[in-house]
């Protein structure tokens, strides 16, 4: 996984970068399966590796394929990145150990969902129960966000076609 990311940093052919991005998403999905998050793995494989890659390829088709080679390693960003990384690793030293059942995250509200979820919603998959029932309003908000983004994309992409038709130059391109 790390190798894939390093290749993404190094490569300049955008087509290869996008493909490696897809591979990275797929690896992330397998990692989610290892972490017991099967629903998330499904979504990541379908949406992250599938739809994102298609979107990026579409954008490449409309723009250019090659990145301009700057040649030199950017020093200041590298210093910033390393500093932030060291700070973050210092921060993880206070984290509860991986898989610890007594970590704060596991003793607050999650046991309630696990115990009462079947009784209150009669859905055996707790992730679905929380997503659709307990936190249904959040999911509605998510749908709103996706809808707004869709409107934004349509406005951005159709504007150009409208102005072109107004000027009477190209016709319907797409």
71-130: contacts with other proteins (CB under 8 A): 74, 77-78, 80-82, 84-85, 88-89, 92-93, 95, 97-101, 103, 105-106, 109-110, 113-114, 117-118, 124-127, 130
Q: Is 68 left (phi over 0), alpha (psi -120 to 50) or beta?
A: beta
User: Bridge partners of 10?
Assistant: none
Q: 9-48 mask for other proteins (x: CB under 8 A)? A: x----x--xx--x--xx--x--xx-xxxxxxx--xx--xx
Contacts to other proteins from residues 144-173, by CB under 8 A: 145-146, 148-150, 152-153, 156-157, 159-160
Instruction: Yes or no: say if 2 and 27 are a contact pair by the CB < 8 Å rule.
Output: no
Sign of CA dihedral 43, 45, 46, 52: positive
Instruction: Yes or no: say if 49 and 26 are a contact pair by the CB < 8 Å rule.
Output: yes
Q: How far is the CB of 54 from other proteins (least distance, A)?
A: 10
């Amino acid at each position: 996984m790390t190798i894939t990311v390093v290749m993404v940093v190094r490569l300049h052919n955008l087509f290869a970068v996008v493909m490696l991005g897809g591979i990275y998403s797929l690896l992330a999905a397998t990692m989610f399966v290892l972490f017991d998050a099967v629903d998330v793995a499904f979504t990541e494989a379908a949406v992250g590796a599938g739809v994102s890659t298609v979107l990026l390829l579409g954008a490449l088709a409309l723009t250019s394929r090659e990145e301009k080679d700057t040649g030199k390693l950017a020093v200041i960003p590298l210093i910033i990145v390393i500093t932030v990384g060291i700070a973050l690793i210092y921060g993880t030293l206070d984290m509860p150990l991986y898989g610890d059942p007594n970590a704060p995250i596991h003793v607050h509200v999650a046991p309630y969902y696990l115990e009462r979820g079947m009784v209150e919603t009669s859905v055996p998959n707790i992730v679905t129960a929380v997503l659709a029932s307990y936190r249904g309003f959040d999911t509605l908000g998510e749908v709103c966000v996706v809808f707004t983004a869709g409107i934004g994309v349509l406005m951005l992409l159709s504007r150009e076609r409208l102005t072109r038709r107004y000027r009477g130059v190209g016709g319907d391109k797409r």
